[in-house]
Structure 1
Amino acid sequence: MTSAPEQRTAAPARPGPDPSPAGGRPAAPATDADPDRGALRTLLPVLAAHRATTARTFAAALVDQAALVALVTLAAHTVGTAVVERAAPSATAVAALVALVLVRSLATWREMDLSHDLAYRVLAELRIRVFDGLARSAPARIKGRRSGDLAAAALGDVEALEFFYAHAVAQLLSSGMVFGAAAVVLAAVDPWLVAVVLPAAGLLVLAPLLEGRGRAARGARTRRAAADLSAEAVETVDGMRELLAFGALDRRRARLRDLGERLGDAQRAEHAREAAAAAVRDLLVVTAVVGVVAIAGHRLSGAWSAAAMALALGALAPVADAAAALGQAGALRAAAGRVGAAIGARAGAPAPRSPRPAPAGPLGVTLRGVRFDYGAGPVLDGLDLTVRAGETLALVGASGSGKSTCAHLLARFWDPAAGSVELVGAHGDAVDLRDLADDELRRTVAVVGQEAPLFHGTLDDNLRLARPDATEEEVRAAARVCGVDRIAEALPDGYRTPVGERGTTLSGGQRSRVALARALLTDPAVLVLDETTAHLDTAGEAELTAALAAASRGRTTIVIAHRPATVRRADRIAVLEGGRIADTGTWDELSARRGAFARVLHR
């Protein structure tokens, strides 16, 4: 009795202190076809936390470029003096050249060191912000997306921004200042020199700006192709056994080849345009230098002619490099847009402004007037349900009736569009889940689904995921209740045996037992089991249910199940139909009425 409509991805509208756009549903992720023109600008404020390093990086880049321009200009003047005036360079000139070489060497090393240190620190912060955004907006943002695509956004797109932070920002600022100073010197030497250099510099900067949309589109195509290939590769590795079993590996290999070729085509197209842009930049610089040579040859004499040509070239070279950086940064707009969208994702269930503690003692659960939809018609439509403290309630209904949605609301993956979900104490004091801090909620309510993946690590690591500080005896006690101790005994290294990524070395039933033991380790007041025992055979389920009942006296348990034997063991049964509770009672009471419960059993 799983619910197909419950797999839709949109989040509901909801009231609260942090309403989402479009009536509460999360905004659609930015598409790669039309990358946000301001995506890179929105990621500049992250540098604010690294002001000192940013300033030092800019200073090192400024000294590096200024030293280069001064070095080539002084060298040209010295050579011109030696050739035209047949005079040996003075000791002062030689000392200045040596000093400039040393200064530039140190500045280049320092700028590279600082810029990459800054970039990697910023990228580390961006990764954390992306993961925070994905966690904050889960499951609405994650549900339905491929894990390889999420990995591309969380890792690949962030990594691609290294160039922007390591090179583009400091280089653009320092190139502008160095060119301005060089232009002033050229104007002092001869105004006609500036008249030649300025148009070339303007065209160098203007060219990547005019082609910005095309660069962004090509960059978006490359990022999209890389994400598709990543997603397909991850799924192929995860499903290798199934692909081999059904003889589908060759078809999958062909699919990977096609995606690889698509990525290669996108990369070649991007690199070809970059090569053409580089040729245009070189042509502009050469044209400007030729113009300077022509003017200097007619209007200047002696060593200053060579020095003016070198100064013009030295001033334009950083501008050309900055234009190249600007162009490459434009191609990163799609990656920046995806990173920015993940960082700025709205919370599906925002944190309370003034958190309240959960009531003390055993807790009941009340769903009052709950309405909820995934964007395609109501799933819950004014649902009212009360689960008494310490009671085991079985929630049943036809496929699509909203059973798993109730579990999602109790886990506060989403908030209801209307109504409330409350924890009720022994004295009638109630607290809405929206008023609980997340840590408090996770300690109080545990939801275990049918597919509860394990993580790469040992069996003990996976059990301690819920409580890393649990004692060994506490871990072993929870394991005994769920039969995990017998699983550990059969493993070569017991609890220290690696279970493989997603627990692939264990069966589905074993993974369910581990997931349930992990939840019990938190000793929750409310335990929600959403088809958790579906992978167990009838005998194993009966054994586990009996063990849970003995170990969970006083705990409120909500069981979503389709097996009649599981439902029969509950203290009370609630039947979901039409988005509401159609009937409640014991097995015998509901069977005698032959109403909604009978219809569920018949299906």
Structure 2
Amino acid sequence: MTMDHRTTEPGAAPGPGSPASPSPERGSLRALLPVLGAHRSMTVRTFVAALAGQTALAALVVLAAHTVGTAVMTRAAPGTGTVLALVALVLVRAATTWWEMDLSHDLAYRVLAELRVRVFDGLARSAPLRIGGRRSGDLASAALADVEALEFFYAHAVAQLLATTAVFGAGTVVLADLEPWLLPAVLPMAAALMLGPLLEGRDRAALGARTRSAAAELSARAVETVDGLPELLAFGAFDRRRADLRGYGRLLGAAQRAEQTREARSAAVRDILVVISLVAVVAVSAHTLEGAWVPAAVALALGVLAPVADSAAALGQAACLRAAAARVGAAVRAPRGAPEPRSPRPVPDGPLGFRLSGVRFGYGGGPVLDGLDLLVRPGETVALVGASGAGKSTCAHLLARFWDPADGRVELLAGDGRSVDLRQVAESELRAAVAVVGQDAPLFHGTLRENLRLGTPAASDADLVAVAALTGVDRIADGLPQGFATMLGERGSTLSGGQRARVALARALIARPRVLVLDETTSNLDGLGDAELLAALPDCATLIIAHRAATIRRADRIAVLEDGRVAQEGTWAELTAVPGPFTRVLDREQRG
């Protein structure tokens, strides 16, 4: 469990531990419109429903106003046809409103489901390039909360804006035909209504960015707090952490209130503009129209302006979502840390080894690996040792192809000398051939059996039992209430560190890898457990990254990393016979 001990205070300027409020770019929302392309039919139906609903409402209020005006002037009840038309329009409006709401939300949730998949694909595609250093709460906020926030945009803004444009265009044509002088009373106010969101766009985007940033920070700290409850309680830091969360909750509340205050002011301005336009329409129609056409003209003006005001409100609220859209878009478009080959080559059949030749790699600063050469033959076990930060785990990540080297090659080798560069291997074939098991290989909330079959869901019960017996996982199952069917809890919280290591190794061995990389996998085991697991390793090319002398000693050969290169190679007896890089590593470990 890793706690975030950075101490940015609520209300202080964001530092390394708290994400700075992003500056969302214009077009962040537009960039997500193509997602609707896979739902063209439903998008069209949503637009048609919104158009029918707005048209029915405009016709209803105009006919109702004309009917009431006629009844007042003639002192006669409306005819049966008029009443039936009004009833029909009411029913049409009710039906189309329900239809539009059903379609728009169905469309929105289908799009959000697709976006979530694309976000997770982006995180997987770029991991660990973009995930490294980011907190799980922040990633959860991008993958879930930010996507969920876009529901309003897809459900309300898109179809409503298109329908409003059509209704306003038709309505102004009718107004012009009724009385051309009505247009100066309507068009300027409609333009002002739509200009408002454009003028407020930058401020609204900044407010939205502030809210999204505060929500992500609170989410990250809440997840860390839940994960770290044992440590917080053990060190008496829970009350301080709770006060910290309360402070970030207040920051989020303040950001949300600022958004709502801005929206309330904008709504008041929109209402004032609509009222001014209606007063102008009354003044014009009173001098130019006769009888029942005066209230009808006012109703028509309201019928075309109300959707414009609603669309302006939707656009204003959409501007607040620009930050969420920017975060989602960045995740969706995340580049691959290791691009897929255009013309994949097959992995050679039979036993495999691997070779790193002239590999240079760094993380943005100086090179971690600088001309590294390392060979592990099929069936050979090599221990890779070195000081902390020497680049041992980097070698494991390059073999897993989380990254590609800046220079040099990482190749799989067949026993007959054939080789293939990892950059030419399809990811599915690479994952089937190479297994990397880290020190903190996570287990998932599920049964022990489900965790063992994570990479090979089709593995037989016989294979599972055999590997479990080989790695000692069968003894773990015997001690659990429901054996292999026992739920392990999130991150395998019901198991000890050593037990999790056994399960992680068994999970890898069930897949029958031809290259195996153990990155401090047995560090949580005692000497006996370490020996048991190493004895269970299959006869395949194995790279063991370890600090424990007993683990290193069991390898066929030892390679010592120093200054980004293999500084020394040989057997335990050869390397301990004379002072050198290996004996310096052993001395450091003994002093540690």
**TM-score scaled by length of structure 2:** 0.95
Map of 1:135 onto structure 2: 124
Q: Distance in 1 between matches of 2:536 and 2:334?
A: 42
After TM superposition, the runs of 4+ consecutive aligned structure 1 residues lying more than 3 A away are 30-33
Please list the CA deviations of residues 92-142 of structure 1 after superposition, one character each: whole Å capped at 9, or x if unmatched: 211211111111111111101110110010000000000000000000111
**How many angstroms does 1:394 deviate by?**
0.4
Residues 1:248 and 2:229 aligned together: no
Residues 1:210 and 2:199 aligned together: yes
Q: Distance in 1 between matches of 2:393 and 2:514?
A: 19
Residues 1:600 and 2:585 aligned together: yes
Structure 2 residue identity aligned to 1:465: L
2:568 to 547, 558, 583: 583
**Map of 1:347-366 to 2, 5 A cutoff?**
347-366=336-355
* Matched-pair contact (CA < 8 Å) for 1:85–1:302: no
**Map of 1:502-541 to 2, 5 A cutoff?**
502-541=491-530
**Map of 1:154-553 to 2, 5 A cutoff?**
154-548=143-537, 552-553=538-539
Q: Distance in 2 between matches of 1:165 and 1:152?
A: 19
* Matched-pair contact (CA < 8 Å) for 1:72–1:311: yes
* Matched-pair contact (CA < 8 Å) for 1:463–1:514: yes
2:555 to 554, 559, 570: 570
Q: Distance in 2 between matches of 1:452 and 1:41?
A: 39
Q: Distance in 2 between matches of 1:411 and 1:361?
A: 19
Structure 1 residue identity aligned to 2:434: V
Q: Distance in 2 between matches of 1:460 and 1:357?
A: 31
Q: Secondary structure at the match of 2:131?
A: coil
Q: Distance in 1 between matches of 2:144 and 2:102?
A: 23
Q: Distance in 2 between matches of 1:155 and 1:508?
A: 30
Higher relative contact order (CA 8 A, sep 6+): 1
**How many angstroms does 1:185 deviate by?**
0.8
Q: Distance in 2 between matches of 1:200 and 1:475?
A: 72
Structure 2 residue identity aligned to 1:40: L
Map of 2:545 onto structure 1: 560
1:55 to 44, 51, 54: 44
Q: Distance in 2 between matches of 1:294 and 1:583?
A: 95
Map of 2:11 onto structure 1: none
Please list the CA deviations of residues 555-580 of structure 1 after superposition, one character each: whole Å capped at 9, or x if unmatched: 11110000111111100000111101
Q: Distance in 2 between matches of 1:438 and 1:137?
A: 13
Gaps spanning 5+ residues in structure 1: where? 1-29
Q: Distance in 1 between matches of 2:38 and 2:22?
A: 32
Which stretch of structure 1 is more off in the superposition, 237-246 or 420-429?
Answer: 237-246
Structure 2 residue identity aligned to 1:346: P
Structure 1 residue identity aligned to 2:514: A
Do the aligned partners of residues 561 and 390 (structure 1) sit closer, same or farther apart at CA in structure 2, a change above 3 Å counting?
Answer: same
CA-based RMSD: 1.0
Q: Secondary structure at the match of 1:310?
A: helix
Structure 2 residue identity aligned to 1:198: L
Q: Distance in 1 between matches of 2:419 and 2:578?
A: 33
Residues 1:68 and 2:39 aligned together: no
Please list the CA deviations of residues 484-542 of structure 1 after superposition, one character each: whole Å capped at 9, or x if unmatched: 10000001111111111001110001000000000001100010000000000112112
Q: Distance in 1 between matches of 2:75 and 2:434?
A: 90
Map of 1:92 onto structure 2: 81
Structure 1 residue identity aligned to 2:225: T
Q: Secondary structure at the match of 1:39?
A: coil
* Matched-pair contact (CA < 8 Å) for 2:25–2:326: yes
Q: Distance in 1 between matches of 2:407 and 2:281?
A: 73
* Matched-pair contact (CA < 8 Å) for 1:459–1:496: yes
* Matched-pair contact (CA < 8 Å) for 1:148–1:231: yes
* Matched-pair contact (CA < 8 Å) for 2:22–2:213: no
**How many angstroms does 1:375 deviate by?**
0.5
**How many angstroms does 1:88 deviate by?**
2.1
**How many angstroms does 1:246 deviate by?**
1.1
Map of 2:110 onto structure 1: 121
* Matched-pair contact (CA < 8 Å) for 1:367–1:421: yes
Q: Distance in 2 between matches of 1:566 and 1:365?
A: 21
Please list the CA deviations of residues 159-180 of structure 1 after superposition, one character each: whole Å capped at 9, or x if unmatched: 0000000000000010111011
Please list the CA deviations of residues 212-251 of structure 1 after superposition, one character each: whole Å capped at 9, or x if unmatched: 0000000010011111111111111111111111111101
**TM-score scaled by length of structure 1:** 0.94
**How many angstroms does 1:43 deviate by?**
0.3
* Matched-pair contact (CA < 8 Å) for 2:384–2:546: yes
Number of equivalences? 570
**How many angstroms does 1:31 deviate by?**
6.6
Q: Distance in 2 between matches of 1:340 and 1:494?
A: 44
**How many angstroms does 1:546 deviate by?**
2.0
Q: Distance in 1 between matches of 2:108 and 2:326?
A: 18
**How many angstroms does 1:439 deviate by?**
1.1
**How many angstroms does 1:593 deviate by?**
2.8
Q: Distance in 1 between matches of 2:99 and 2:22?
A: 39
Q: Secondary structure at the match of 1:342?
A: helix
Map of 1:25 onto structure 2: none
**How many angstroms does 1:388 deviate by?**
1.1
Structure 2 residue identity aligned to 1:566: T
**How many angstroms does 1:476 deviate by?**
1.1
Structure 1 residue identity aligned to 2:276: T
Q: Distance in 2 between matches of 1:92 and 1:250?
A: 72
Which stretch of structure 1 is more off in the superposition, 170-179 or 586-595?
Answer: 586-595
Structure 2 residue identity aligned to 1:558: L
* Matched-pair contact (CA < 8 Å) for 1:395–1:575: yes
**How many angstroms does 1:89 deviate by?**
1.1
**How many angstroms does 1:32 deviate by?**
3.9
Structure 1 residue identity aligned to 2:78: P
Gaps spanning 5+ residues in structure 2: where? 1-18
Q: Distance in 2 between matches of 1:126 and 1:437?
A: 25
- Taking only the aligned residue pairs, the percentage that are identical comes to 70
**How many angstroms does 1:543 deviate by?**
2.1
Q: Secondary structure at the match of 2:82?
A: helix
Q: Distance in 1 between matches of 2:297 and 2:21?
A: 46
Residues 1:35 and 2:14 aligned together: no
* Matched-pair contact (CA < 8 Å) for 1:148–1:232: yes
